[in-house]
Chain A
Amino acid sequence: MIRAVIVMNTQGKPRLVKFYDFQPPEKQQELIRSVYGVLSERADNVSNFVEADAIFGPGTQLVYKHFATLYFVFVFDSAENELAMLDLIQVFVETLDRCFKNVCELDMVFNFNKMHMLLDEIIFGGQVLETSSEQVLKAVEEIAKLEKSSSAISLVPKSVSARFGR
């Protein structure tokens, strides 16, 4: 089972946090900090796996991927395959990329509710639900269409993101 999905930037600031077993906010912060502590010490060109039983309890592992200014971290237990989780991160990022066209950190900050929506279509209750980014996008578009019918919605235009881009 997947225990948590964490997206944070390279300074350790959380951008998306989802625990599939409830954790109180204070505990969440502590876990995020510990994860960041581990990740920030890891060099490039090493494996993407970290044994996380010191942080999340026995038998847990985390897989992370570093994209530009962001870490994508999936925490899971022995019922999942490490390499497959790595690919699931890929699925998530690909989907984001398709959704936001060249996704950057700012997109995530401003649209983190949409991120949650995407993630909910990929992982459901800690289990992998869908691994095709096309299918995920289709599902999300359907929701968006329906939502749009009641209200006009637009994503953050690139111009805004660009203004705040670092």
Chain B
Amino acid sequence: MGSQGGWGQSKEFLDLVKSIGEARSKAEEDRIILREIETLKRRIAEPDVPRRKMKEYLIRLVYVEMLGHDASFGYIHAVKMTHDDSLLLKRTGYLAVTLFLNEDHDLIILIVNTIQKDLRSDNYLVVCAALTAVCKLINEETIPAVLPQVVELLGHSKEAVRKKAVLALHRFYQRAPNSVSHLISNFRKRLCDNDPGVMGATLCPLFDLIKEDINSYKDLVVSFVSILKQVAERRLPKTYDYHQMPAPFIQIKLLKILALLGGGDKQASGHMYTVLGDIFRKVEASSNIGNAVLYECICCVSSIYPSPKLLETAVDATSRFLKSDSHNLKYMGIDALGRLIKINPDIAEEHQLAVIDCLEDPDDTLKRKTFELLYKMTKSSNVEVIVDRMIDYMISINDNHYKTEIASRCVELAEQFAPSNQWFIQTMNKVFEHAGDLVNVRVAHNLMRLIAEGFGEDDEGADSQLRSSAVDSYLHILGEPKLPSVFLQVICWVLGEYGTADGKYSASYILGKLCDVAEAHSTDDTVKAYTTSAIMKICAFEIAVGRKVELLPECQSLIDELSASHSTDLQQRAYELQALLGLDSQAVESVMPLDASCEDIEQIDKNLSFLDSFVIQSIEKGARPYIPENERSGMFNIGNFRSQYQHEASSHSLRFEAYELPKPSPPPTVAQVALPLPTTDLVQMPEQTYPRETHQAANLPSATHASSADFGVKLRLEGVQRKWGRPTYSSPSASSSSSTQKTANGATHLDGGGTASSQTRDSFYDSRRQQAEVSAEKQKLAASLFGASTVKSEKRQPSAHKTPKGISTSTEKPAVKGAISSSEPPKEKTLPSSPPPDLLDLGEPTPASIPSVDPFKQLEGLLGPTSAPSAIDHSSAAGPKAPDLMALYADAPPAGVSSGSLNPALADMYTVNKNSHETANVAAVKKGPNLQDSLQKDATARQVGVTPTGNNPNLFSDLLG
């Protein structure tokens, strides 16, 4: 049987395949392959393996690797085989190497030399094999090594080689655009190759190039159109026909290119109308490939400057697609419709039924495509239906990737077109319930904000109705067994803010529900944090209206549990809650005012100037003036644990400041600014603590002013920092930050009033102060993270359609209340980093591509004229070549009758084409003979590989001068 092995395979290989085929399980298959690998390892290592045997081993290795096993031990032998002289073995070697290695593999270096040699071979089959390898194995670094040869091959006598060389260059361009940017003119040149196959291959790189930089190729529109015309008119040899279609793949590529070039360009599009109309007429819609061309025509018509007549034809073709029985054509039809409605949204209407049919179709691909179409045609009039449909579909699928996409689309549409608040909330509930873990958290924050702010109408009644309906629905939904974490956060927040607002539910009922949530999700710290804050709010509202809060036992045990929690965030919340329970109603009301989540906090007096009189009083009574902590040497890191924790979390690094040498720093500021004390006083008092600094301080009274300004800035930043909590978005310290915030104002107020402040609050105060004196680095970070004060004006802008209610109401409410914004922080924190229209992010990648284009564009801009002279070169050289060119399409005249008589016309066409080229180029050449010379010189230099990318001063001075 050994003799029967095809292509030299032995019985062993046949047996291997057979036994794998018969393997009953994956494990059995693996065992067989592992045995095979052992055998191969042994055999390959034997000395003097016959080459033909080695070839077979290699093929077996390829097979083994295809089945997912490691064959790396044999790579080196594949490399060796590429060196073989026999074409058969060499090809096998190249095949194995292209399948085994990636272009960055260490072994590539051993092949480059062989490739170079093979590219120069007399045997064009060897050259082709090498070109195939080049495509796969050459990376940016090795491109220069083979580039000259590949470029040379563009002029090879065999069209198969030219074709492959063009595509290999294209590959280089894809891999490292800069390495071949000076060779781009070659692609233009090859467009006039006398083999249509080579011309067709050239369209691939040109398509990519044009996509990057449309404007540099506008001059080719006429050429492309005339090529397309000739192809469509069957001027190509019959061998290029495919299923009775003349070179359909070339047509498709050309149509794609024209679609790019004609986009929004009336003049360029004008050239295309005739040929497009011709193709529409000529294409046989009976074959698959005919429909491919037809579809490409529709795409082209829909992206170029619209022509009413063509649009009509395109719409007809689309409706034929939609009415077809073939799912493939329906799919194309839906896609085409999606393109056409961009130009005229009314087109969709007459195809409603067809679209609905596709929506009901069992074919998932078709369904998705249809949803994409629906998404594109959503208006406020149809949003309810479409989103409902989408949600139903979303629930039915398991594919998380697509689920995420469709969920975010639902949200986007709902935000954009929601007909009513009620509907919006219900829709969001559904989305959250079924895909809560897949949607962006920002969506949740938007929802919370929407509930808090309402839809912008100054109608408190409607807003509160919205809120109570939200509360109703959430209390209902809480009964569901499994809810996504993000959704629970929303629910908790809403219940906390508005659970008792309309008086429908008692505080203890809501509290009970919240405790249940915390209990049921004991592993989710974020949810627990949200519940704790919600509980605190409910309690605060109760206390504020003078009712006594009786904590349920489960609530109490929750607080106890949390105050011993490992999460400092939860601990803090628990302690704050406990502290709050001990306050009287007046204090609580100013600490936690009802429904103040949208209040502005811009009214904060960050300089705490209202405390000035108190400070003066105290100092007069003999108290020591306050010294900002960073100006107190040696005391910096005595902060309590919490501030340290906060600090670390926010700066994401260890604190090194404590070990720095104490810098001479300006003297205490607040006190001095607040009240002009005699300097001696000031010096004496710090002297006890900071003997080292005193003299300096005394000597620098002028510095005080500047530093006081500094201080102000710092405080401000600090306010921002505290307000938005730590940068970890997942556990927003909503209430914690707000409550500490409030101690800044509220607590000191109390102090001023002479009421005893509780121990906890003192420590808050302290920690806050320490936080305030952050290092310069941190401030920078904070500024870059939160954009300092400028952010504040931006952040209030709601993303979608709501006008900020907060701003309008804040004027009515006392400024102090503004200080308290309970759960606002998390919402706004994201905004600085990624501004408003949340879900529209989808479109963002586009700008990203710009920088990548840039350098290339520039280079090309410089080289642009290169192509002109080189084209001239070509056409002047084409003097003798011209007949060739004509011969090209006339050469193998289609056996058909018609072609013979048409040939002259073709030749005309071509010469006209050439002429236009020439005239266009004359202008460029007129600049002087220098230009051409130096370009040529440069080109040869490049081809030799002397200066692959370096600037050629000569060249550029010519071009620019």
On chain B, the residues within 8 Å of A22 by CB distance are 101-103, 136
B277 at the interface (CB under 8 A from A): no
A25 and B242 contact, Cβ closer than 8 Å, known pairs A113-B92, A155-B6 = no
Taking the closest CB of chain A, its distance from the CB of B371, in whole angstroms, is 11
Closest to A111 in B: B6
On chain B, the residues within 8 Å of A86 by CB distance are 288, 292, 328
A147 and B362 contact, Cβ closer than 8 Å, known pairs A17-B66, A84-B252 = no
B764 at the interface (CB under 8 A from A): no
Q: Are B292 and A29 in contact (CB under 8 A)?
A: no
Closest to B72 in A: A25
A87 and B289 contact, Cβ closer than 8 Å, known pairs A22-B103, A113-B95, A131-B242 = yes
Q: Are B91 and A117 in contact (CB under 8 A)?
A: yes
Measured CA separation A110–B18 after assembly (Å): 10
Measured CA separation A147–B171 after assembly (Å): 28
Q: Are B6 and A83 in contact (CB under 8 A)?
A: no
Measured CA separation A154–B88 after assembly (Å): 13
In this complex, how many residues of chain B approach chain A with their Cβ under 8 Å: the count is 80
Taking the closest CB of chain B, its distance from the CB of A18, in whole angstroms, is 8
Measured CA separation A19–B274 after assembly (Å): 40
Q: Are B201 and A127 in contact (CB under 8 A)?
A: yes
Measured CA separation A41–B373 after assembly (Å): 24
A132 and B242 contact, Cβ closer than 8 Å, known pairs A47-B366, A87-B292, A124-B135 = yes
Q: Are A151 and B168 in contact (CB under 8 A)?
A: no
B59 at the interface (CB under 8 A from A): yes
Taking the closest CB of chain A, its distance from the CB of B406, in whole angstroms, is 12
Q: Are B201 and A129 in contact (CB under 8 A)?
A: yes
Measured CA separation A150–B248 after assembly (Å): 38
Interface size class of A (residues with CB under 8 A): 35 or more
A142 at the interface (CB under 8 A from B): yes
B503 at the interface (CB under 8 A from A): no
Q: Are B171 and A125 in contact (CB under 8 A)?
A: yes
Measured CA separation A53–B332 after assembly (Å): 18
On chain A, the residues within 8 Å of B9 by CB distance are 110, 156
B722 at the interface (CB under 8 A from A): no
Taking the closest CB of chain B, its distance from the CB of A81, in whole angstroms, is 5
Q: Are B91 and A83 in contact (CB under 8 A)?
A: no
A40-79: CB near B (< 8 Å → 1, else 0) gives 0011011111110110000000000000000000000001
Q: Are B362 and A125 in contact (CB under 8 A)?
A: no
Give the contacting residue for A83; candidates B5, B8, B99, B295; CB below 8 A: B295
A104 at the interface (CB under 8 A from B): no
Measured CA separation A111–B135 after assembly (Å): 23
Measured CA separation A158–B41 after assembly (Å): 31
Q: Are B332 and A129 in contact (CB under 8 A)?
A: no
Q: Are B7 and A139 in contact (CB under 8 A)?
A: no
Measured CA separation A2–B56 after assembly (Å): 29
Measured CA separation A62–B308 after assembly (Å): 34
Q: Which of B159-167, B348-356, B619-627, B711-719 lies at the interface with chain A?
A: B159-167
Identify the B interface with A (CB < 8 A).
1, 4-9, 13-14, 17-18, 21, 52, 59, 62-63, 65-70, 86-88, 91-92, 95, 99, 101-103, 123, 125, 132, 135-136, 160, 163-164, 167-168, 170-171, 174, 197, 201, 204, 207-208, 239-240, 242-243, 248-249, 252, 256, 288-289, 291-292, 295-296, 326-328, 330-332, 362-366, 368-369, 399, 401-402
Given A25-B70, A125-B136, A153-B8, 11 other A-B contacts at CB below 8 A? A22-B136, A25-B69, A54-B401, A79-B207, A110-B5, A110-B14, A116-B95, A125-B168, A154-B6, A155-B7, A160-B6
Identify the A interface with B (CB < 8 A).
1, 13-14, 16-18, 20, 22, 24-26, 28-29, 42-43, 45-51, 53-54, 79, 81-84, 86-87, 90-91, 109-114, 116-117, 120, 124-132, 134-135, 139, 142-143, 146-147, 150-151, 153-157, 159-160, 164, 166
